[in-house]
Structure 1
Amino acid sequence: MAPMPPRSPFPWYLGGASLWFAAASLQVFLLQWLFVGELGIRPMDYGLIRAFLETPALALLLVGGVIGDRVDRRRLLVGLSLLACIPPLAIVATADALSFWPLVAFGASLAFLQSLSDPARQSMLSAVAPTDMQRTVTVMTIVTTLTGIGGYWVGGQLEALGLRTVLAIQAACFFASGLAVLRLPPGVGGGVARPGRGLASGFVVLWRLPLLRNVILLNLFSSMFNAGAYLVGMPFIARDIYGGNEAFFALMMMVFTAGTVGCNVVLLALMPLRRPGRAFVAMQLTRIVILVALWLEPPQWLFFVLLAAWGVNMGVTSTVARAMVQELAPAEHRAQVLSVFLFGFMVAAPVSSLVLGAVIDFAGPTTGLLPGVPVSLMLFAGALAAGLWRFESPSAAGRAGGSA
């Protein structure tokens, strides 16, 4: 009798990542709605809070990249999952009289843990990938995003379930994520970086690889006023333009995320894309139409249609950019390169929070969408100049059926 082939570790990896993402999505919802919907803070103050929460985590993200290249990532992720259970359980004690500073501490602690875990989790993906990197990243995006919708749904039941129950569910997801990662074989994705490499290693690698550097820079500017407009502007659009409660805001996030899932299902059928950069370039122009239409404050049914379209746009942009970075990053520095990739997204976050918070405070919630229009035009021109239109994916090399 022939021996059974070894089981792929990918399902356990995917389970751990999905459960973490569900809890993290619930965290995004809770911070946005509790500050804006429950405490009723102004847009300027909300922008300041987001910047305060996001800025300190930047340094930890780079540290996380170095750690992820040097230690057993499996043990690291299990430990961080267990630590992540503590903040939601701690905030339960103040759930009846929620106040500003406990909520800030809650957000900051989980932001720190997220910064340490993301580079290790992302870099481990190449070690457990069951197929080419484009398809693996897309499957990962689809499944984790679906669980993220589940996290938003739980957040939408805040009034029915109560804050204590919602926080307990979040802690349970973090704990279950650690259990799933624990089932991975010891040593999967273990650190391979050579000794003596410090925080600057990821930046040194990028300096030597212009195309990889360009993809990360373009993603940084895309995050600043496109993803930033979604994260900063949406709770105020829900509250002030459409008069929505927490269930309405959760539905907004679910519709947006459903658009992201749908586009990734289509991408999965088309992959491997021979020229993925062309999809990135095209999304910059279609986003302009979506942002302007949302700025016009359409009726509610059309607003949700446009939200889904924006989710499709953001999903294509982020999946294609992440897949290109995964393909182009050298294996021995992948965690550090990915930490720089995530670092770019997080650098954009406090900047967009401060700028868009001020814009919304001065001119209204939908005005926060408008800076994304000229930024998208600049990204379109920049992506063409950077060579993304001509880039051919290694995953699709030699495959006659690859899509352009």
Structure 2
Amino acid sequence: MSSVPAATPETETAARQRRLQLYLGGQASWFISLGIQFVIFPFLVTQVLHEPAARVGIAQMSLMAPSLLFMLLGGTVADHSDARRILIRVHLFATVPPLLLATVYLTGHLTYAILIVYALAMGTLAAFAIPARDSALTRVAETNIQQAVTLAMGVQMGSQLVGMLIAALAAITGTPALLFFQAAVMLAGFWAAVKLAPLPPTNLAATVGRFAQIVDGLKSAAGIPIVATVIALNFAVGLFYVGSFLVVLPLMIRDIYQSTSSEFTLKFALINICFWGGTIVVNLALLRIGHIGHRGRLMMGSLASGLIILALFHFHMPFWLVCLLVFWWGMGAGTTMTMGRTIVQMAAPESHRARVLSAYQLGFSGGAPLGALMMGLLVGWLGIFDAVLVPATIMVGILALLYFLSPIWSYKAAAD
């Protein structure tokens, strides 16, 4: 009778590295696709269909609105299902919308309603993909969680940057070719998920319904003061920062800098490259620094820099200066996302981790569509230069309240 060789530390480390590589490969696939979408979608809305500010806001809102309905359900499903199986399905299904959109574009039947349907479909898939992926990271990495989160965030941001660089080629390749490529990239993520080892559910309790499980997850998140604070802060970021980014910058490029269709694609891609380049730079710095105890203070400082940048957009400036400010904004955003996600990953109980992380993501994704709608209306009412002062002013008050009434400033994390 043959015996199975005992696992050694070297083989365990190699297996863990292999799992992490496949995990990061799937993440890269998703966010390369998202980077392409981030440029192509507003291009179709603003330059191909020439929609006004309010309808631009509604279209951008439609990409994120499904999170309001399905993110918590996605977290519940991830806690009670094999995360690998979820990732396989969402990557496979996510190849369909860009293929259909490319076909519609080629046949000359593109309409605003079709773009909304595309946005709702991709947003719904993301609502199930994000909790499954986020909750799997801790089990895939096993140790050095802050480093793993920072690495995952770096891959996410770098992949989005690659996607945006690819999207900048739209003037050469044409929009349909990019949409077909987007589908192919999603298919590569499907392959990576298939190769990943099973990630069985962390919570096997199945005696209560989905709604009760969602409520249980929300109670778990609300019961941890630092997690509840980070979720509230994430909602404010989505509402006032992401909404501004998604609506103000495309309209600024179109209306303030009077860009043609080809110039718009290039300039908007450049704006996104600056932003996500900033996030990559700061994540490389965080990887080098290692453990950070006062993660909450770092988040607060980063968010304060964001409101200063929004206020500066009140003034007309050369395009190169806008790019420089957006790079600075990206550095702050990268710090905020990495520190916030690390806090939640470490503080959430394993049995509820996907649901708590989905609540965290819902704060961000739930605020963003409302922010996009709000900024679309504000820009139509006040104009671009005055509209940006509204979220900047409100964020001053929010940060002051969190400083005095929440544990975020005094929070200090133990070593991972």
Correspondence 1:145 to 2:176: no
Distance across 1 between alignment mates of 2:299 and 2:350 = 24
Q: Is the 8 A contact 1:297 1:303 kept in 2?
A: no
Over 3 Å counting, the alpha-carbon distance change for 1:285 and 1:54 in structure 2 is closer
Distance across 2 between alignment mates of 1:275 and 1:335 = 24
Distance across 1 between alignment mates of 2:204 and 2:384 = 46
Aligned to 1:402: none
Q: Percent identity?
A: 28
Aligned to 1:132: 144
| 2:11 aligned counterpart, secondary structure | coil
Aligned to 2:91: 81
Q: 2:69 aligns with which of 59, 62, 65?
A: 59
Q: Is the 8 A contact 1:88 1:171 kept in 2?
A: yes
Kindly state the Cα deviation for residue 383 of structure 1 after the two structures are TM-superposed: 2.9
Alignment-mate amino acid for residue 77 of structure 1: L
Q: Is the 8 A contact 1:124 1:189 kept in 2?
A: no
Kindly state the Cα deviation for residue 346 of structure 1 after the two structures are TM-superposed: 2.2
Q: 2:203 aligns with which of 166, 178, 192?
A: 192
Aligned to 1:165: 177
Greater CA drift, 366-375 or 107-116: 366-375
Over 3 Å counting, the alpha-carbon distance change for 1:351 and 1:69 in structure 2 is same
Q: Deviations over 1:334-369 (max 9, x none)?
A: 000111111112221232122111111122234332
Kindly state the Cα deviation for residue 52 of structure 1 after the two structures are TM-superposed: 4.3
Aligned to 1:215: 230
Q: Is the 8 A contact 2:243 2:374 kept in 1?
A: no
| 1:395 aligned counterpart, secondary structure | coil
Alignment of 1:252-267 (within 5 A): 252-267=271-286
Correspondence 1:388 to 2:408: yes
Distance across 2 between alignment mates of 1:377 and 1:387 = 18
Q: Deviations over 1:225-284 (max 9, x none)?
A: 112111121110111112232111111111111011111111112221011111012123
Kindly state the Cα deviation for residue 51 of structure 1 after the two structures are TM-superposed: 3.4
Q: Normalising by structure 2, report the TM-score.
A: 0.90
Q: Deviations over 1:128-152 (max 9, x none)?
A: 1154221111111111211111111
Aligned to 2:336: 317
Aligned to 1:110: 122
| 1:200 aligned counterpart, secondary structure | helix
Q: Is the 8 A contact 2:81 2:200 kept in 1?
A: no
Q: 2:187 aligns with which of 148, 167, 175?
A: 175
Distance across 1 between alignment mates of 2:287 and 2:400 = 27
Alignment-mate amino acid for residue 54 of structure 2: M
| 2:51 aligned counterpart, secondary structure | coil
Q: 1:239 aligns with which of 254, 257, 266?
A: 254
Distance across 2 between alignment mates of 1:240 and 1:321 = 35
Correspondence 1:33 to 2:43: yes
Kindly state the Cα deviation for residue 190 of structure 1 after the two structures are TM-superposed: 3.2
Kindly state the Cα deviation for residue 33 of structure 1 after the two structures are TM-superposed: 1.5
Distance across 1 between alignment mates of 2:202 and 2:36 = 30
Alignment-mate amino acid for residue 68 of structure 2: L
Alignment-mate amino acid for residue 120 of structure 1: A
Equivalenced residue count is: 395
Q: Is the 8 A contact 1:240 1:365 kept in 2?
A: no
Q: 1:201 aligns with which of 175, 192, 216?
A: 216
Aligned to 2:360: 341
Aligned to 2:23: 13
Alignment-mate amino acid for residue 407 of structure 2: G
Kindly state the Cα deviation for residue 220 of structure 1 after the two structures are TM-superposed: 0.7
Distance across 1 between alignment mates of 2:71 and 2:102 = 27
Distance across 2 between alignment mates of 1:154 and 1:193 = 42
Gaps spanning 5+ residues in structure 1: where?
A: 397-404
Greater CA drift, 14-23 or 238-247: 238-247
| 1:198 aligned counterpart, secondary structure | helix
Distance across 2 between alignment mates of 1:276 and 1:52 = 32
Alignment of 1:261-276 (within 5 A): 261-276=280-295
Q: Is the 8 A contact 1:22 1:148 kept in 2?
A: yes
| 2:50 aligned counterpart, secondary structure | coil
Aligned to 1:378: 397
Root-mean-square deviation (Å): 1.8
Aligned to 1:369: 388
Over 3 Å counting, the alpha-carbon distance change for 1:382 and 1:348 in structure 2 is same
Distance across 2 between alignment mates of 1:334 and 1:287 = 29
Over 3 Å counting, the alpha-carbon distance change for 1:382 and 1:267 in structure 2 is farther
